[in-house]
Structure 1
Amino acid sequence: MALVGRVYRIFLRRSSVFALSVFCGVVLFERAFDQGADALFEHLNEGKLWKHIKHKYEDDKQ
């Protein structure tokens, strides 16, 4: 119960702090989810993306 009381006192007692906590949590979750999804996509498509095969098609004389 001490932990619940501490969380309530820090984050939930004032509406402004609660709203700020929710906003920051959403932003951090979105960034982590986006980076995780990008990493999974690149892992599943290894060798098929342009950055993996562009050396085969680019001209060295540029």
Structure 2
Amino acid sequence: MSFVKTVYRSLFRRTSTFAVGILVGAVIFERVFDQGSDALFEELNRGKLWKHIKHNYESEDDEA
């Protein structure tokens, strides 16, 4: 129960800290969700994306 009291006293007691907590949580959630969905997309489309197959279409002469 002391953990709940500590969280209440440090985060939920004042509106300003509650709002900052929500903003920070939203930014962290957005970053984690974005990176997770990108990783899932990469895994589901392995071998189909340009960065995986571009070596088949590029030649040594094109790198100039």
TM over 0.5: yes
Q: Secondary structure at the match of 1:52?
A: helix
Deviation by residue 1:18-59 (Cα, 9 ceiling, x = unmatched): 000000001001100110000010001000000000011112
Aligned to 1:20: 20
- Overall identity of the aligned pairs, in %: 60
TM-score when normalising by structure 2: 0.92
Unaligned 5+ runs, structure 2: none
TM-score when normalising by structure 1: 0.94
Aligned to 1:51: 51
- How many residue pairs end up in the alignment? 62
Give the letter aligned to residue 41 of structure 2.
F
Unaligned 5+ runs, structure 1: none
Root-mean-square deviation (CA), in Å? 0.7
Cα distance in 2, alignment partners of residues 60 and 28 from structure 1: 42
